[in-house]
Amino acid sequence: MPLAPGTRLGSYEIGAQIGVGGMGVVYRAWDTKLQRAVAIKLLNAGSGQTHEQRLIEEARAAAALNHPHICTVYEVAEVAERLFIVMECLEGPSLTDAIRTGGVSTALTIRYGAQIADALSHAHERGIVHRDIKSGNVIVLSDRRVKVVDFGLAKRRPSVDDVTRSRVAGDDGTMAGTLPYMAPEVLRGMPADSRSDIWSLGVVLYEMVCGERPFSGGTGFEVAAAILEKTPPPLPARVPESVRNVIGGCLTKDVKERYQQARDVRVALEAVSAAADPGASLEGLFAFSPDMICIADFDGFLKRVNPAWTQTLGWSVDELLSRPMFEFIHPDDRNKTWREALRMFGTGNRVVSFTNRYRCRDGSYRWLEWSATPLVGDRLIYGIARAVTERRGAEQESR
């Protein structure tokens, strides 16, 4: 039985019901201690130990993540033998509702897709695979941001009348996701991994630009057969080729040919945005991203960098822009970096990922993990780098 508004769960006062899932009900609530709005996911009465463990696993997965595009989990609590998760209260429709009510423009598809990809990259780097990425698990906020919710729910067993879910087992013998968004390899019985999330993201991207999912059918068997065997219907003519290429890179049935990292999808989408509007579209990223973001030309000079470059390496912006990039790269890594740049253009302008060592202003070197892609229509390259080790001196690195 649903809880009535005004019911107390410890220090939380229950408000309106805002969602129903396979394991329980989600309510808007008020934290009387901290005086803030929260959302509470309350496990159904009599759910049993298995569902309790899955709810705890979900909370642990989400609590391990701290990202602007992932819903924050505050705590797991229990009152009167009812287990519940307390999390950030997100005000806004699901992406599913946004698609149904007004559609999503190509520009917003790129923006939302990059944000979702960034959230997935953050999770994957911490060993967490969502396994249930879909438009219904993305909340659209009023400031054109989205947040991914329900991390860890792929391990739960949904209600038997939820016809959109598949009975394919995951690596723990339970459901691996929502059928229309499931990757082919998962349907074949393989465990879901980060590349399966990327497939699901591709379905969401397609859904945003087209208004419907790429694979459909009258029954679950028909949907599964379409995912395994059919090519998605063509996208509308208004969708730019660059966006089509990103969606196609996500929806490649051969998992080895698909984008291998969510960060690569983010880079590809941001590069599309940069090519369309090289000034205004990336202002937020260049100002606030913790990652090292740059635009470089084919002659090897940085044309634009964000503040993270100075924060990470110590060089001023003027110093970085006035000298060829290769002067900053460790001598032992220059040939490798050049080969990767050539490979970038030999693979149909796809994203390439590699690591190299970059010299800091104090003479030490830092390992950087790169994802880079050409900007469509320009002789420029868009790249994101992230420092992956502590600073180490050139002598140590060369040994």
Phi, psi of 16 (to 5 degrees): -75, 150
| Residues 3, 39 contacting (CB under 8 angstroms) | no
**pLDDT number for residue 283:** 64
Q: Residue 100, CB half-sphere, CA atoms under 13 Å: how many?
A: 7
User: What kind of fold does domain 8-88 have according to CATH?
Assistant: Phosphorylase Kinase; domain 1 (3.30.200)
Q: For residue 17, is pLDDT > 90?
A: yes
Which homologous superfamily is 95-273 in?
Transferase(Phosphotransferase) domain 1 (1.10.510.10)
- Measured CA to CA, the distance from residue 170 to residue 187 in angstroms comes to 9
**pLDDT number for residue 396:** 40
Q: For residue 82, is pLDDT > 90?
A: no
Which residues are bridge partners to 393 per DSSP?
364
**pLDDT number for residue 11:** 94
Q: For residue 61, is pLDDT > 90?
A: no
Q: Under DSSP, is residue 377 helix (H, G, I), strand (E, B) or coil?
A: coil
∠ CA 331-336-342, nearest 5°, is 130
Encode 215-239 in three state secondary structure: CCCCCHHHHHHHHHHCCCCCCCCCC
pLDDT grade for 177, boundaries at 50, 70 and 90: confident
Residue ranges per structural domain of the chain = 8-88, 95-273, 282-398
Q: What pTM was estimated for this model as a whole?
A: 0.83
Distant-in-sequence, close-in-space partners of 29: CB < 8 Å, separation ≥ 6:
9, 12, 13, 14, 15, 37, 38, 39, 40, 86, 89
* pLDDT above 70 coverage of the chain, percent: 84
pLDDT grade for 23, boundaries at 50, 70 and 90: confident
- Measured CA to CA, the distance from residue 203 to residue 181 in angstroms comes to 6
- What is the rounded average pLDDT of the residues 111-119? 95
Q: Residue 160, CB half-sphere, CA atoms under 13 Å: how many?
A: 0
- Measured CA to CA, the distance from residue 67 to residue 151 in angstroms comes to 13
- What is the rounded average pLDDT of the residues 220-243? 94
pLDDT grade for 47, boundaries at 50, 70 and 90: low
Write the pLDDT tens digit of every residue in 241-289.
999 999 999 999 999 999 999 999 999 998 888 776 655 555 666 666 7
Q: Which range (43-52, 202-211, 214-223, 313-322) has the least confidence?
A: 43-52
| Residues 359, 394 contacting (CB under 8 angstroms) | yes
Q: For residue 128, is pLDDT > 50?
A: yes
User: For residue 84, which of 123, 51, 110 has the smallest C-alpha distance?
Assistant: 51
User: What kind of fold does domain 282-398 have according to CATH?
Assistant: Beta-Lactamase (3.30.450)
Active-site pick, 97, 118, 132, 332 = 132
Q: For residue 150, is pLDDT > 50?
A: yes
132 tagged catalytic: yes
